[in-house]
């Protein structure tokens, strides 16, 4: 995620963004799919920790896959903003790569 995306995630979700199964990831997926799932999500921030472990240990540490995140904060309309931020960040990185920054 680029600078704009990180800033947006911080603004919308603060410390609840986390590292995996994040609110920004879910919001972007819902936007891309054109829907917002009506599912019950566990509220609250998932445990933090390292993913530097075996698959069995990972499943024990993070049984629902969330790492420090609260995807219940996700909104389809947020996904549109993350897409726009991502395009702007990618374009900026491309211009810097080709020396047009």
Listed by start position, the domains of the chain span 3-97
Residue pLDDT, tens place only, 11-28: 999 999 999 989 999 999
Split at pLDDT 50, 70, 90, the class of 101 is low
Residue pLDDT, tens place only, 22-67: 999 999 999 999 987 777 777 788 878 888 889 999 889 888 888 9
Q: What kind of architecture, by CATH, is found in domain 3-97?
A: 3-Layer(aba) Sandwich (3.40)
Between vectors from CA 77 to CA 6 and to CA 26, what angle results, nearest 5°?
Answer: 60
Element (H, E) at 60: helix 55-61
Residue whose C-alpha is closest to residue 76's, from 1, 24, 10, 40: 24
| Global confidence as pTM | 0.82
């Amino acid at each position: 995620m680029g600078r704009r995306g990180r800033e947006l995630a911080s603004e919308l979700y603060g410390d609840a963004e986390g590292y995996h199964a994040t609110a920004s990831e879910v919001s972007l997926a819902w936007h891309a799919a054109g829907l917002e799932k009506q599912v019950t999500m566990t509220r609250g921030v998932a445990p933090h920790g390292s993913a530097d472990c075996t698959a069995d240990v990972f499943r024990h540490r993070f049984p629902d896959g969330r790492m420090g995140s609260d995807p219940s904060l996700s909104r389809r309309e947020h996904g549109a903003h993350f897409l726009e931020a991502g395009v702007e960040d990618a374009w900026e990185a491309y211009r810097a790569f080709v020396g047009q920054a």
